[in-house]
């Protein structure tokens, strides 16, 4: 009975998290299509942003967990958690105050940059089985942001539009762009290892 009750709570928590991510993505799509004019073009524009890609990963993963609460791939949840926390931290620091949004764009910004970056780590802390992460995992998790960094730079150079100001090589130059990337990478690795350390300390709570 206790296992069934726990499964129900996990499913509800995962469902709420997935709903926040899906809602943010849908609202962002609605706000963006007015500028991009076609669904295909809108999706292509949205795919420029790490925020969108990370929230899509959250939406897909947590939708699956909501329907299969006993399925909890620790490494995958950990990687998605670190990625979405990175979204929240970068938004609150490097991107704070750069845009003045309203309407649907403002709602999407709140959901994608503030709500999911809080809900996901809370879920990881309270609803997952701990003690399964290792200090090899942060290096594996780093593959996604590294691949995005290469993709974003190549796309930015091709289209002349960069997803984020700190990626704009034309304005910042390569030295500044690389330094900022290294700072973000260092923070990412530090957060990843801190997460593994905390996971080992919390393993007794998941029994």
Q: Average pLDDT of each block of 10 consecutive residues along the chain (207 residues)?
A: 70 96 95 82 92 97 94 93 93 76 84 96 93 93 91 92 88 89 89 94 70
b/e code 53-83 from CB counts within 10 Å (16+ = b): bbbebbbebbbebbeebeebebebbbbbbbb
What was the pLDDT predicted at 15?
96
pLDDT at 1: 46
Domain that includes residue 129, residue range: 2-206
- In this structure, are residues 117 and 45 in contact, taking their beta carbons and an 8 Å threshold? no
What integer pLDDT is reported at residue 194 of this predicted model? 95
How many structural domains compose the chain? Answer: 1
Collect all residues with Cβ–Cβ distance below 8 Å to 27 and sequence separation of at least 6.
104, 107, 108, 111
State residue 147's pLDDT score.
Answer: 92
Grouping H, G, I as helix, E, B as strand and the rest as coil, residue 133 is coil
Question: What is the pLDDT, as a whole number, of residue 206?
Answer: 52
pTM for the predicted model, two decimal places: 0.91
């Amino acid at each position: 009975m206790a296992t069934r009750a726990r499964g129900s709570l996990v499913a509800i928590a995962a469902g709420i998290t997935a709903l926040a991510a899906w809602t943010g993505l849908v609202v962002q799509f609605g706000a963006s299509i007015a500028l991009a004019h076609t669904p295909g073009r809108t999706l292509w524009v949205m795919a420029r942003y790490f925020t969108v890609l990370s929230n899509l990963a959250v939406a897909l993963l947590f939708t699956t967990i909501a329907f299969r609460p006993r399925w909890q791939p620790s490494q995958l949840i950990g990687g998605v958690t670190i990625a979405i926390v990175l979204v929240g931290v970068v938004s609150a620091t490097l991107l704070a105050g750069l845009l003045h949004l309203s309407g649907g764009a403002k709602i999407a910004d709140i959901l994608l940059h503030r709500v999911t970056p809080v809900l996901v780590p809370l879920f990881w802390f309270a609803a997952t089985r701990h003690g399964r992460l290792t200090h090899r995992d942060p290096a594996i998790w780093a593959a996604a942001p590294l691949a995005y960094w290469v993709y974003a730079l190549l796309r930015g150079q091709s289209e002349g539009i960069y997803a984020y100001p700190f990626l704009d090589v034309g304005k910042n130059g390569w030295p500044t762009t690389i330094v900022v990337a290294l700072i973000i990478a260092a923070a990412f690795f530090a957060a990843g290892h801190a997460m593994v350390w905390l996971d080992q300390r919390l393993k007794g709570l998941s029994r």
